[in-house]
Structure 1
């Protein structure tokens, strides 16, 4: 798998997780916080992957 494709997949995963965290925030805050943390980690991973 190409390095660019991996970064794009990680960014897409981050967007999906952060969107889910946003939509869950009013109903289930602990789950939303967990999804948000995972989304941030995926975004940071994508940024680090692109700069590698």
Structure 2
């Protein structure tokens, strides 16, 4: 999966950030797998973690 395919809306990004702060984990927006918030990419589907790419984590 490339960077463009991994991009999400600003609303989705803020929801992930909120979830990361509250739970220390997030649900992958592509496959819903529960993953640690600081991963580089989802181990199930390969989604590139936009929280890390954009410098939030």
TM exceeding 0.5: no
Higher strand share: 2
Q: TM-score scaled by structure 2? A: 0.34
Whose RCO is larger (CA < 8 A, sep 6+)?
1
Higher helix share: 1
